[in-house]
Amino acid sequence: MLEVFYGMEFIILVALVFVWGLTGLMANNIKYAAFRNGNVNLWSRMTRIGLWVGLILFFLWFAMMILILLFLGWFFVMDRVVVILPLMALPALFVIRSSMPKLKKADSAIPDGLISILAPIHTMSIGTILAFYLVTINVPAIPDVKESTTYLGILILCAGLLWLYQKRRVERIRFRQPGFAARIRRGAGFAAVFMIAALSGYTWSLQASKFPESMEMVNHDLIDDGGGTGFVNVSMHHGSDHSQATNGNKMVSVVDLTGPKTGEPDKRFTLYAEKKMLKLSSGRTIEAWTFNGQSPGPQLVVNKGDLVEVTLVNKDIDQGVTLHWHGVDVPNAEDGVAGMTQDAVMPGESYTYRFVANETGSHWYHSHQVSSIQVQKGLFGAFIILPENQKRNEGPLDITTLAHDWETPEGTVTTLDFSDTLQAKAVKPGTEVRLRLVNGSSETKIFTLNGTSYKVAAIDGNDIHEPGTLTGSLLKIGGGGRYDVTFTMPEKPVTLALYHENTESGIVFSKDGQGKAEALEEGTVFDPTSYGTPASSPYGSSTAFDREFTMILDQLYVGNYNGKTNQLWAINGEVFPHTPTFMVQEGDIVKTTIVNKSFADHPIHLHGHHIHVLSKNGKPISGSPLVLDTLLVEPGDMYEVAFTANNPGLWMDHCHNLEHAAQGMTMHLAYQNITTPFTIGDRTGNHPE
């Protein structure tokens, strides 16, 4: 729906810019015709047609806004209403009140009334150009009065200048008619000035977008306190020059927020990052970046309560690597974000992570240095936390599978694990199976399971309360998300497949391992917000939130990011490093409203915390409590989520379509008293996204 509405709006806006520009040109011709005894009637009639078409288009645009308001809600039109509407509505009024009546009697109005015909039309042209710019390039996602008055000011200034200019022109023309060539020259001059201004603006903004040699990852210039109170004025302090805040809240460095430094680990692993040529099951070779020579990397299985120690050794990944424990709420220093919680681990270096696994569930690990490239190239693996004292496969047959997209010279190849063909597995009928589905790709994947009924037992590692029985559902998992699916192996084969993907990859479970793939009995799209049954949750309708944030996800049709021009992905109208920082204090109960105004899926991932979904599109969730770390927000969707600020640190909050994160859609949740000695930029070589 959103695509249709915004798509229509885009077309209307393009038409508006075009129509008003043309109308302005025709109105200009009245001026010349009037003094040359030319055909005033012709030009005024043309202008009148232009006015009508332009006004009708404007009202169409306005009707679109009302439809969007009715169908999607205020969040999807507030920038339009507050900032963009006045830029077109005011000149439109001006046109109706001044140009239209004067045009009716064009002959008698000339020359004195000419200005009152021209000026409103020119103002309207500028208003539509500004509107187009604001919808496509510089989205005022969370509008404020300052922003709307700024743009109104620009409009009035431009209109005033044009008015003065036209007034002078009319006076001049009265005495001396410019020839055709002179008019062409003048037009070309105007175009040249405009082009030069636009080009220098572009070049300047391209330069300005370059990241400095070194900068803190957290944006201290745009702090959002979520309307909460209690902050001492520490937000502006860069670095650790203030060791003590005024309220006695001690400043703490991320380097001190480690897991246990001593103690014999219960589980110990070493992961070697190295490049390796790998062969897919189809025979195709991939230049992969691997952990221990494989991708996905080794599956790390631990128990709840274990002290886990993982040593990362970088053999030959030039840009350096890190390990991020996606979905696991580790202490901040163990979070593996290059340039914020540590420096990237360079070739020949190693780094040890130590933390206690305080939860259970299906998670994964991946590099968080140049993650948009490194994860894509294979630096990731599954991280499974079993309940205390439970051995693997002591309970149900436990199978993990990771979906991924590989870039090859022949295009994208989608795999499950490292297989791009159908895998076969023998499973004895009657066996309880727990299938852990991990989406290690940036794109949303839709899994299907055919030949059996099943349950979604957990999402993002968190159990669903009393999950219902499903058949044929389409399980949509956003990039970085995980679903645990359980079923009892029947006599007939069961097929796990990826829906509507150009790939053979899938798994056939059968009693002898010889079963053939089952055809899909297609059901409906699985909706986690109404699945399972309610159970007690820490947040309810009576929860008093200490802070409330809004995250508006947008696309900028074109923009500059770190010295490159691209389509960009914005949060609250800004791209990293200009996105706001959500600032909290330990203990805060926080609500966030997340709105997707763009045409793409955004799996929003908050590090270090579990978020509880409260509502989707205004409807409170009706099933099991839904606790996630990666929330798939589809176009036109709006979620309210809650979390408790119980893990002090500096935490990334970003889209797990990692290309989006690397093109702007990255921000941070910061605890007000935490500082970091690490920086990103070319000087340190840290580039987390």
Sites of contact with ligand C2O (CB under 6 A):
324, 326, 366, 368, 480, 605, 607, 652, 654, 656
CB of 619 to Cu ion, least distance (A): 23
Which amino acid is it at 476? K
Cα 661 to Cα 271: distance, rounded to the nearest angstrom: 25
| Least distance CB 571 / ligand C2O (angstroms) | 14
80 binds, among ligand C2O, Cu ion, none (CB under 5 to 8 A by kind): none
Q: How far is the CB of 17 from ligand C2O (least distance, A)?
A: 39
Q: Partners of 641 in the beta sheet? A: 592, 613
Q: Which does 480 bind (CB under 5 to 8 A by kind): ligand C2O, Cu ion, none?
A: ligand C2O
Rounded Cα distance, 325 and 330, in Å: 8
Question: Is the CB of 102 or the CB of 482 nearer to ligand C2O?
Answer: 482
Find the shortest distance in angstroms from Cβ 596 to Cu ion: 9
Least Å distance, CB 653 to ligand C2O, is 8
Residue 655: name its binding partner from ligand C2O, Cu ion, none (Cβ under 5 to 8 Å by kind): Cu ion
> Looking at beta carbons only, is 526 or 569 nearer to Cu ion?
569
Q: Which does 660 bind (CB under 5 to 8 A by kind): Cu ion, ligand C2O, none?
A: Cu ion
Residue 186: count of CB within 10 angstroms of its CB: 12
| Cβ atoms of residues 271 and 290 within 8 Å | no
CA distance 548 to 557: 29
Binding flag, residue 660, Cu ion (CB under 5 A): yes
Cβ-based nearer residue to ligand C2O, 404 or 656? 656
User: Which lies closer to Cu ion via its Cβ, residue 657 or residue 672?
Assistant: 657
What single-letter amino acid sits at 304? Answer: K
Residue in 138, 137, 95, 133 with CA at minimum distance from that of residue 117: 95
Task: Give the span between the Cα atoms of 581 and 578, in whole angstroms.
Answer: 9
Tell me how far, at minimum, the Cβ of 512 lies from ligand C2O, in Å. Answer: 38
Q: In this complex, which beta carbon is closest to ligand C2O, that of residue 440 or of residue 493? A: 440
| Partners of 604 in beta bridges | 631, 655
Report the residue number, 103 or 652, with the smaller CB distance to ligand C2O: 652
Q: Which amino acid is at 298?
A: P
Give the interface segment with Cu ion, choosing from 380-388, 537-545, 649-657, 681-689 (CB under 5 A): 649-657
322 touches, from Cu ion, ligand C2O, none (C-beta below 5 to 8 Å by class): none
Task: Report the DSSP pairing between strands 297-303 and 432-439.
Answer: unpaired
- Ramachandran category for residue 214: left, alpha or beta (phi over 0 → left; psi -120 to 50 → alpha): beta
Rounded least distance, CB 664 to Cu ion, Å? 9
Q: What, of ligand C2O, Cu ion, none, does residue 445 touch, CB below 5 to 8 Å by kind?
A: none
Please identify the residue of the shown chain whose CB is closest to the bound ligand C2O. 326
Strand residue runs (E) in 328-396: 350-356, 361-366, 380-386
Is residue 657 a contact point for Cu ion (CB under 5 A)? yes
Q: Would you say 614 or 655 has its CB closer to Cu ion?
A: 655
Residue 277: strand, helix, or coil: strand
668 binds, among ligand C2O, Cu ion, none (CB under 5 to 8 A by kind): none
The nearer residue to ligand C2O, 354 or 656, going by C-beta atoms, is 656
The contacts of residue 582 (CB under 8 Å, 6+ apart) are 224, 226, 547, 549, 590, 592, 653, 667, 668, 669, 670
- The closest alpha carbon to 121, from 170, 168, 69, 159, belongs to 159
Query: Judged by CB, which is closer to Cu ion: 548, or 659?
Result: 659
Q: Exposed/middle/buried for 80, CB within 10 Å: 0-12, 13-18, 19+?
A: buried
Nearer to Cu ion, 457 or 655 (CB): 655
Query: Choosing among ligand C2O, Cu ion, none, which partner's interface includes residue 324 (Cβ < 5 to 8 Å by kind)?
Result: ligand C2O
Coil, strand or helix: which one is 327? coil
DSSP state of 176: -
Q: Nearer Cβ to ligand C2O, position 326 or 434?
A: 326
Both tokens of residue 115? 């200005």
Pick 328 or 498: Cβ nearer ligand C2O: 328
Q: Which part of the chain contacts Cu ion (CB under 5 A), choosing from 214-222, 389-397, 401-409, 600-608?
A: 600-608
Would you say 531 or 569 has its CB closer to Cu ion? Answer: 569
Q: How far is the CB of 605 from ligand C2O (least distance, A)?
A: 5
Question: 436 or 656, CB closer to ligand C2O?
Answer: 656
Q: Which does 609 bind (CB under 5 to 8 A by kind): Cu ion, ligand C2O, none?
A: none
652 touches which of Cu ion, ligand C2O, none (CB within 5 to 8 A by kind)? ligand C2O
3-class SS letters over 306-354: CEEEEEEEECCCCCCECCEEECCCCCHHHCCCECCCECCECCCCEEEEE
Pick what 602 binds: Cu ion, ligand C2O, none; C-beta below 5 to 8 Å, kind-dependent.
Answer: Cu ion
DSSP bridge partners of 86: none
Shortest spacing between CB 652 and ligand C2O, in angstroms: 5
Q: Is the peptide bond before 577 cis (omega within 30 degrees of 0)?
A: yes
* Nearest distance, CB of residue 595 and Cu ion, angstroms: 13
**Total residues contacting Cu ion (rule CB under 5 A)?**
4
The closest alpha carbon to 272, from 319, 312, 299, 300, belongs to 312
Which residue type is seen at 597?
A: K
In angstroms, what is the minimal distance from the CB of 689 to ligand C2O? 8
Taking residues 130 to 149 in sequence order and writing x for each that binds Cu ion by CB under 5 A, - otherwise, the string is --------------------
Instruction: Quote the CA–CA distance of 330 and 216 in Å, as a whole number.
Output: 22
- Name the nearest CA neighbour of 629 among 617, 613, 647: 613
Kindly tell me which residue out of 368, 602, 612, 654 binds Cu ion, with binding defined by CB under 5 A: 602
Count how many residues are written for the chain: 689
CB of 223 to Cu ion, least distance (A): 23
Using rule CB under 5 A, residue 655 touches Cu ion: yes
| 3-state secondary structure at position 381 | strand
Report, in Å, the least distance between residue 603 CB and Cu ion. 7
Given a contact cutoff of 8 angstroms between Cβ atoms, the answer to whether 482 and 327 are in contact is yes
DSSP structure string for 93-119: HHIIIIIHHHHHTHHHHTTTTHHHHHH
Pairing assessment for the beta strands 380-386 and 297-303 based on DSSP bridges: parallel
Binding interface with Cu ion (CB under 5 A): 602, 655, 657, 660
